[in-house]
Structure 1
Amino acid sequence: MTNRVLLNNVDHADLRAIVGYGPRFGDNVNQALLLPTEFEEAQREYPILLRKDPQGDYQAVALLGLDRDENLFLDGGEWRARYVPAVQQRGPFSIALQDAKDGGAPRPMIHVDLDHPRVSTSEGLPLFLPAGGNAPYLQHMIGVLGAIYDGLEVAKPMFAAFSELDLIEPVAIAIELVDGATYDLPDFHTIAADRLAALSGGDLERLHHSGLLRAAQWLVSSMGNVQQLVEMKNRRLVMARAGEGLATP
């Protein structure tokens, strides 16, 4: 359940947001939704894979772990990566369309979930300055929410363009760890690198001018991070074994 209300500096002058990451904030997930506006930064850290949502539409996700509820980037209260997916950054904040009082088009407005575990009046970073202006943390969140809002607008036409050019293909990811455990990650898709490289003429020009050529290239390049994820998982296993050895009488 949520208790989502329109954020304002009168009713919520004393609100604060608890920073940091961890299971209490819902960060123990092995996948996080990604939007096209994040691909450039996210592809440096995570494998970006495509999957279909319950309606059959494609969406992009950052692969964060191999097991259920496993986020290999979590370490204590920190997220060990140069970029954190926007849906995990946003915490209690969201954008919803609000009807304009003058009868104009609805406007996107920031809402806050007052029941979210990050929301506090006694700890964390303030949302508003004493005089009522936005504090730096809220300014940052406005940027995060803007990236989400813009990304949602871009995602559907982007996947439509990729599908029209037959660039999306299933990908088989088979992993073996140092302890002999194996993983087969099903139902994922990626961009076919060979088909992307073979584009020419009008198709290539349209993809380039729309900015989607770079998005496709970032999706392809991100697949190199699968091996990094495997190495992170192996390090966890080795450390766990070492800890068990130290605990043995």
Structure 2
Amino acid sequence: MSRECLNRCLKVFKMKASTLDKISCFLAELMGTAILVFLGCMGCVKTDLFPNNHLQIILNFGFAVLIAIQCFGCVSGAHLNPSVTVAAYIYDLVSLPMAFVYFVGQMLGGFIGYGLLMALLPPSTLNVPNGLCVTLPHSEVNNLQAFGIEFVATGILVIVCCGVWDPRNAKHHDSVAIRFGLAIACLACAAGPFTGASMNPARSFAPALWNGNFLKHWIYWLAPLSGAGITAIAYKTVFRREVVEAQVVSDEKLRQLEDVQLS
């Protein structure tokens, strides 16, 4: 019934199935990034009754990523991050036009997510010196060091992505949302005190735009995008291997045999 309704809608609006797929991916990236920014930045709010700490913030961002991937991973892959989309394009997972669709959805989603946060929270909770959730390097970290930290952190994130996308790992995606959530939490735990551990231009751009604070903002574009691109090229060249279908069938039969023996 749902398939028939979909076909009717496509005929009524004279829309191709591929166009509908693009719209679905756009909306998934928009809503997923909005969830990431909304929940992640809300976890950075401090109040007299509920003071937060570094561990709370990193776990909150990790859980926000987990929720977004669980919701929209089956729709668009839940990149939620222009850096991840750059890596996916290099890895031949998305076309250039589709990468642009993802990018627009992510940037708009981040803007909407932070705007919703500002609309729902009391103004007193948003009045922090540099703006709530605005990413800035630590005062003792120079620009080159901040660039390097964001570059390396994003590179590690992209290695995780490439490992998930690797054809040899195609049958092991059952807990991807948890893996990425924990990976983000780990990277944020390490890099957060020094740069804010953005690794994501969409996540940094929205708070900067709403607060009008673009101090050293270039770091949070150039470092993640270049780190993602170089890492994806390196992984694709050095580590990626295509899986032969016969090998996949053989491995599946072996797993079935092991299951029978264990049971």
TM-score past 0.5 threshold? no
The structure with more helix, counted as a fraction of residues: 2
| TM-score for the superposition, normalised by structure 2 | 0.27
The structure with more strand, counted as a fraction of residues: 1
